[in-house]
């Protein structure tokens, strides 16, 4: 699988509000919930999707109700269709 160029990523991100390409070359989005319980439930739901896809993002729960997700396809060193497929599923949780 070939990684997308920066321009291709930018074009594809237009379909995923709130997601951005960070300085490390990873797709990233922060979610803010009402409380810690909701943040944990969301993080666990993302974990389930990731495990099913065998594609595992970094999840950071911080400030008790914030969840930041970042991901890339490590095996190719960039962003691929796998990443966009997973963020599409994550978007569907909201």
Q: What pLDDT, in 10s, does the model give residues 22-43? A: 999 999 999 999 999 999 999 9
Residue 68 pLDDT greater than 80, yes or no? yes
Quote the CA–CA distance of 50 and 88 in Å, as a whole number: 12
Other CB atoms closer than 10 Å to residue 30's CB: what's the count? 15
Residue 72 pLDDT greater than 80, yes or no? yes
Q: What is the pTM of this model?
A: 0.93
The token pair at 68 is 């930041």
Can you list the domains of the chain with their CATH numbers?
Answer: 6-91 (3.30.1360.20)
Non-local (6+) Cβ contacts of 13 within 8 A are 19, 20, 21, 27
> Which pLDDT score is estimated for 66?
98
Average pLDDT of the chain to the nearest whole number: 96
> Which pLDDT score is estimated for 1?
83
Q: What pLDDT, in 10s, does the model give residues 46-59? A: 999 999 999 999 99
Percentage of residues in the chain having pLDDT higher than 90: 98
First and final CA of the chain: distance in angstroms? 29
């Amino acid at each position: 699988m070939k990684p997308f160029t920066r321009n291709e990523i930018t074009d594809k991100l237009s379909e995923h509000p709130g997601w951005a390409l960070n300085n490390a070359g990873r797709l990233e989005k922060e979610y803010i919930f009402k409380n810690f319980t909701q943040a944990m439930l969301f993080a666990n739901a993302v974990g389930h999707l990731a495990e099913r896809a065998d594609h595992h993002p970094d999840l950071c729960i911080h400030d008790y109700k914030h969840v930041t997700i970042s991901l890339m396809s490590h095996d190719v060193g960039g962003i691929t269709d796998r990443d966009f497929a997973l963020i599409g599923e994550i978007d569907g949780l909201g």
